[in-house]
Amino acid sequence: MTVQIDLTGRVAMVTGGGSGIGRETSRLLARSGAAVGVADRDTAAAQGTVELITAAGGTAVALRVDVRDPAAAAAAVADTLAHLGRLDILVNNAAAWTIKLFKDLTLADYEHDIGVSLIGAMVMTRAAYDVMREQGDGRVVNLISDSGRVGEPFMVAYGAAKAGVIGFTKGFAKEAARYGIRCNAVSPGTTKTPGAQPVIDKWGGEEKLLAAYPIRRLGEPADQANAILFLCSDMSSWVTGQILSVSGGYTMAD
């Protein structure tokens, strides 16, 4: 028997869908049958993902949104409903990181990293929550990071934000379960994306990093997209408030 995840009839929104893990996730959700709202502050990048999806026979729309802005978030949800009819899945993937030593980080850097990475996930979830509650069904997947779990140098404000996303994931999962809404997190290890390359360089390059990874390769966006797909699907219907580490064994649960 072939087991296949089928999201036909489902509608997803992926923030930061114009690049890296967000692009790959948008493409995989679309290949699994979902219609996808590709939400990004970079409209051209979002449109690029939409073109890849439609060229492969899928359905997607580009949504311009800065995840920090509640009005833009509400407009993105309204556009998704207008174009795609419903909203079942939200992937809070957009994030921002300032690569500096803590002594050099400014208040503006704290506000930027925490604003996009933590507050952005909360703003987008709030915008989607009423629709999901009315449907009695919803799946939220938040991208977190080892920076927020075991700590990493040069990214302290970002790590603080991602630790906050863990608290948000768990608290929201407990509140929202009564409405048929599940919320989980995927925690990527270093994954080869346009956004991660400056971090890989700062930490001394790929070869140096590999020594810390029991499975001796860095992640590919597809590694993360596969885990996100599982958490968006009915295959994880009794899973909520959890963190799935996708990191080649770099970080292991207690």
Ligand X SMILES: NC(=O)c1ccc[n+]([C@@H]2O[C@H](COP(=O)([O-])OP(=O)(O)OC[C@H]3O[C@@H](n4cnc5c(N)ncnc54)[C@H](O)[C@@H]3O)[C@@H](O)[C@H]2O)c1
> Comparing C-alpha atoms, which of 121, 21, 9 is closest to residue 65?
121
Size of the site for ligand X (CB under 6 A): 30
User: In angstroms, rounded to a whole number, what is the distance separating the alpha carbons of residues 139 and 100?
Assistant: 34
Contact stretch for ligand X (CB under 6 A) within 38-46, 101-109, 128-136, 205-213: 38-46
Q: Which residue has the tokens 């850097």?
A: 109
- Give the CA dihedral 164, 167, 171, 172, nearest 10 degrees: 50
Closest CA to 213 of 245, 166, 184, 254: 245
Judged by CB under 6 A, does residue 27 bind ligand X? no
Residue 167: which residues within 8 A CB-CB, separation 6 or more?
none
User: What's the CA gap between 161 and 119, in Å, rounded?
Assistant: 8
Note whether 19 binds ligand X by CB under 6 A.
Answer: yes
CB of 17 to ligand X, least distance (A): 7
Asked if 22 interacts with ligand X (CB under 6 A), we say yes
40 near ligand X, rule: CB under 6 A: yes
Q: Which of 10, 27, 41, 182 binds ligand X (CB under 6 A)?
A: 41
DSSP string, 171-224: HHHHHHGGGTEEEEEEEE-SB--TTTHHHHHHTT-HHHHHTT-SS-S-B-HHHH
Does position 246 interact with ligand X (CB under 6 A)? The reply is no
CB closest to ligand X, residue no: 195
Residue 158 known to be catalytic: yes
Site for ligand X in 103-122 (CB under 6 A): 116, 120
Q: Which member of 129, 158, 179, 250 is catalytic?
A: 158
The residue within the footprint of ligand X, chosen from 184, 193, 240, 245 (CB under 6 A), is 193
Residue 191 lies near ligand X (rule: CB under 6 A): yes
What is the nearest approach in angstroms of ligand X to the Cβ of residue 41? 4
Structure tokens at 202: 């700062």
Q: How far is the CB of 161 from ligand X (least distance, A)?
A: 9
- By CB under 6 A, name the binding residues for ligand X: 15-16, 18-22, 40-42, 45, 65-68, 93-96, 116, 120, 143, 145, 188, 190-191, 193-196
State the catalytic residues: 158
